Structure 1
Amino acid sequence: MGVLNDLKNRGVQDILIIAKDNLSGFSEAIAAVFPQTEIQLCVIHQIRNSLKYVSYKDSKALVTDLKTIYKALTLEEAELNFEKFKEKWGSKYPLVIKSWERNWLELTAYFRYPEEIRRLIYTTNIVEGYHRQLRKICKTKTAYPTDDALRKIIYLATQEISKKWTMPIRDWGRCMSQLVIYFGDRLSSKLQ
């Protein structure tokens, strides 16, 4: 909640979609600070969490079956595939099933959007890649004389990392057009 309020205090007026990991209480905090925000739980995090309860010998087959759910073309197809998944794995891994059922609404939020936009929002891998690069830079030194020294290192590292962010997002023009349609005045007023 503190981070979200800090963003709001710094001028962020609205967030259209948030892709998040399964940090407890985060959805409630988002709803409190930015009530119109769509929340998408990171599918990759959900799969990783599911695999904690799965034996190694079953993990490959289970992940293959999960792909039929999150790569489905429609929400209805995903629901049908989830029912098949439950029939096959439910008795062996009930905790996995419960976790997917508990998080279903946030796991399937991206089905409201076309394929181009789905790829942008159903995972937090881009953010994780950035964090991985920061960890690589910070791990060589375990202690910093001040918090400000650490901030400076992170700032300089971000400057270097961002130089590599040159690839445009695939079909961005089409994505923007569709986002304007989905979010109407919330987005189009910002683009003028």
Structure 2
Amino acid sequence: IMNKFKQIHQQPNKEAAIKVLHAFYDKWNRVYNYVIRNLKDIEPDLLVFYSYPKQIRSSIYSTNMIESFNNVIKRKAKAKAKAEFPTEQSLDTFIGIQ
């Protein structure tokens, strides 16, 4: 099912993606009714990355960069003593610098 879902993001434009998405709905609705209902509710948000240039689309729908950045922040924040962040503002400053 994930391989079929990934095909939506691999389409050249939004119209093609909508066709693939609706075919996905038709194929999997009986088996995964709850999931398909939820996807239909968020469909406009699901395809919003097609509003951006093709060169940056993969970075928008992929969370790999975000997850990587969060891991770096967690690792560096744990390495510092908690006393170095006496306020929330000091932690925000540290994260901003990173």
**Structure-1-length-normalised TM-score:** 0.42
Structure with more contact order per residue of length (Cα contacts < 8 Å, sep ≥ 6): 1
After TM superposition, give the deviation of residue 140 of structure 1 in Å.
5.7
Amino acid at match of 2:74: R
What corresponds to 1:101 in structure 2?
40
Q: Number of aligned residue pairs: give it.
A: 96
Measure how far apart 1:65 and its partner are: 0.4
Structure with the bigger percentage of strand: 1
CA contact (8 A) 2:29 2:36 kept: yes
RMSD between aligned alpha carbons? 2.8
Tell me if the contact between 2:59 and 2:65 (Cα under 8 Å) persists in the aligned partners.
Answer: no
- Structure with bigger helix share is 2
Within 1, Cα distance between the matches of 2:51 and 2:84?
A: 46
Unaligned runs of at least 5 residues, structure 1: 1-61, 163-192
* Runs of at least 4 residues off by over 4 Å: none
Aligned partners of 1:65 and 1:135: how far apart in 2? 34
Shift of 1:138: 3.4
**Equivalent residue number for residue 122 of structure 1:** 61
Cα deviation, residue 122, structure 1: 2.5
Given the alignment of the two structures, is residue 81 of structure 1 paired with residue 20 of structure 2, yes or no? yes
> 1: CA distance between counterparts of 2:85 and 2:49?
38
Provide, for residues 117-157 of structure 1, a one-character-per-residue CA deviation record: whole Å limited to 9, x for no partner: 3234233432321111111233467x8347427836x72x7
One-letter identity of the residue aligned with 2:58: R
Distance (Å, rounded) in 1 between the aligned partners of 2:17 and 2:58: 16
State the match for 2:82 in structure 1. Answer: 144
Q: Which residue of the other structure, out of 110, 113, 117, is the alignment partner of 2:52?
A: 113
Q: Which amino acid aligns with 1:107?
A: L
SS of the aligned residue for 2:11 comes to coil
Q: Counterpart of 2:31 in 1: which secondary structure?
A: coil
**CA distance in 2: counterparts of 1:73 and 1:145, whole angstroms:** 51
CA separation in 2, counterparts of 1:126 and 1:63?
20
